[in-house]
Chains A and B, each alone.
Chain A
Amino acid sequence: MSQSPHIMIHAENLTKVYDNYTAIRDINLQCKKGEIVGFLGPNGAGKTTTMRILTGYMPPTSGTATVAGYDTVTQSMDARRHLGYLPETVPLYPEMSVEGYLAFVGRLRGIPNLWDRIDDVLEMVDLLDRAESHISKLSKGMRQRVGLAQALIHDPDVLILDEPTIGLDPSQIIDVRKLIKTLGQERTVLLSTHILSEVEQICDRAIIVIGGKVWADITLRNLGQNEDKTLTLRVADSSEGVPLALGDLPGVYTIHALGHNQFRVVFDGRDDTRTLLAQTVVSQGWGLLEMVNERVSLESLFLRYQREAEALAIQEAEMKRASEASEEEE
């Protein structure tokens, strides 16, 4: 195998075509050991399809995927042994007890000292007191955690979690995030979610898929670096002279009106410029009400990418329509 040994998830040109609908197109991604990667995208972007291919649940139409160095199609059994998977629909047998279910999964995975291990994972997901409960009697949040326990039971090198915190209450969400963060220190975690702040909190990287393609691969530590700084400014005076005067200050690049007395200022990010802005507003008697730094958030990036993708889709559709129209003319 040519790839380096600590790359635990590797996808190359994954494409999946259902009947006549292309769910994902040329997806490439790599996740290293000790990395928690957030998998983001609007509904229907192909997140679940990609995860299902990575877990070996279904083969790609073209392209290859490896987990822990094993091809998910040709070395499926080896790949499955190294992988813990929590699908979007938590796969539970309602008639079983929590520990009975975990024992079933654990036996199929051939785990030694199974009952000790079951206690361990139940403690991790905080369900030790419900070990004997029937799954049908559990709340949605508890079922979600049983599903997570199932994915952890064999202490896998790679964890693929499709919306792991959905259906949990706020304190459980915090617990599960902590758990994932701990697990991710020595393993590889790929998780999908719609909660962008979750990704910012626990992930090292975010991969954004839109329309079946990888749109961005962001290292979150660097988020916002190399970007111009932005702040929002609210003043009491709403006359037109305000933006004109502020826009002329040194270090200020652009200024947009957001409301009648609120502005978004893009500037060089220096504290001098910030001071100058405040002083100008005060000395002119415009009344400084608010001046807030705008952090480049994952959310703003995500929305920007989504707008870009939509614009591109419209453009492509128009071009297609235009070419069809010209063909008809001929």
Chain B
Amino acid sequence: MQNVWIIARRELGAIFVQPIAYVFIASMTLITGAIFAVQIAFSSQGLQGAPPTVSDPLATFAFLCVFAIPAITMRLVSEERQTGTMELLMTLPVTDGQVILGKFLAALLMYAGAVALTLIYPFVLLRFGNPDVGPILTSYLLMLLWGSALISIGIFASTIAPDQIIAFMLAFGFILIFYLFAFLANIPALPESVANLMRELSLTSHQDNFFRGLLLAKDVLYYVLVTGLFLFAAARFFESRRWR
């Protein structure tokens, strides 16, 4: 576990050297802030008429991650391969799983930092409005699960891709497919069973309950499973690189 943290610390340093982290945090704060402000400004009763939750800004945040997360995760593994530091990592006394977990943890912490900046909206609501605390809590839990799932998909893509551009394209493609399943399921010609399966597999259809304040085990399990599955696959692929 200590090794995971050592890897994560170095990776966090590397993430914050690059402009992408600052662009991510700044644009997320700006866009969600704008949405939150507009909701209040255009409400006739001022803060009294403000929405009782923060689901709109957070849903936008989550949607933008479809593009933003691949940009953050693309370099995580493929850069090590390109610069040759992979040879160092693979000959130091750390396991491949620890390397992958460390990178995951670093990206998740950066993401969590950006999410934490949006906590100002619920605080504003708590202070001046009349919010519903339950949905706010579940919404933030979703944000964490959502980030984990997308980051692990991104890390998997970065592990299998030969360079960063392909890593980005792959991650974006994977996430988009899972994202769009919920919409594609609405095609009328699809048999009901296939449509249901696509809805269950979709990254988006599991969001709704959280935003409504409903905490269901299957929704939590879905994101945890996606995260675990892609991290496991990434670690295995990372290892298999040795054999070529």
Interface residues of B (CB under 8 A from A): 3, 6-7, 10, 13-14, 17, 83-95, 242-244
Contacts and interface: CB of A to CB of B under 8 A. Distances in A.
A18 B244 CA distance: 7
A110 B90 CA distance: 16
B94 A89 contact: no
B3 to A, nearest CB: 6
22 contacts: A18-B244, A56-B90, A57-B90, A57-B91, A58-B243, A59-B242, A80-B92, A81-B93, A89-B87, A90-B84, A91-B84, A91-B87, A92-B83, A92-B85, A95-B14, A96-B13, A104-B6, A105-B88, A105-B92, A108-B3, A108-B93, A150-B88
A188 interface: no
Given A57-B90, A85-B91, A89-B87, A104 B243 contact: no
Contacts of B90: 56-57
A137 interface: no
Interface residues of A, number: 29
A80 to B, nearest CB: 5
Interface string A81-113: 101010101111111100010001101111000
Among A90, A95, A105, A108, which residue has the most Cβ atoms of chain B within 10 A? A108
Contacts of A59: 242-243
A108 B83 contact: no
A102 to B, nearest CB: 12
Among B3, B84, B87, which residue has the most Cβ atoms of chain A within 10 A? B87
Contacts of B6: 104, 107-108
A55 interface: yes
Given A93-B85, A109-B92, 16 more contacts: A18-B244, A52-B87, A55-B91, A56-B90, A56-B91, A59-B243, A80-B91, A85-B87, A87-B87, A91-B85, A91-B88, A95-B14, A100-B13, A104-B6, A108-B7, A110-B93
B87 A109 contact: no
B13 A95 contact: yes
Closest 10 CB pairs of A and B: A89-B84, A91-B88, A95-B17, A91-B85, A87-B87, A80-B93, A107-B6, A58-B242, A55-B91, A85-B91
B7 to A, nearest CB: 8
A147 to B, nearest CB: 9
B153 to A, nearest CB: 25
A17 B21 CA distance: 41
A77 interface: yes
B91 A83 contact: yes
A77 B13 contact: no
A90 B84 CA distance: 7
B91 A93 contact: no
A149 to B, nearest CB: 13
A107 B98 CA distance: 14
Nearest to B85: A91
Contacts of A89: 83-84, 87
Contacts of B88: 85, 87, 91, 105, 150
Contacts of A90: 84
B84 A87 contact: yes
Contacts of A56: 90-91
A85 B89 CA distance: 11
Nearest to A92: B85
B20 to A, nearest CB: 13
B147 to A, nearest CB: 24
Contacts of A85: 87-88, 91
Nearest to B7: A108
A16 to B, nearest CB: 11
Contacts of A57: 87, 90-91, 242
Contacts of B83: 89, 91-94
Contacts of B94: 108
A56 to B, nearest CB: 6
A57 B86 CA distance: 9
Interface in A33-62: 52, 55-59
A225 B13 CA distance: 57
A95 to B, nearest CB: 4
Nearest to B3: A108
A237 B84 CA distance: 60
B91 A109 contact: no
Contacts of B93: 77, 80-81, 108-110
A257 B98 CA distance: 66
Contacts of B3: 108
Nearest to B87: A87
B15 to A, nearest CB: 10
Contacts of A108: 3, 6-7, 92-94
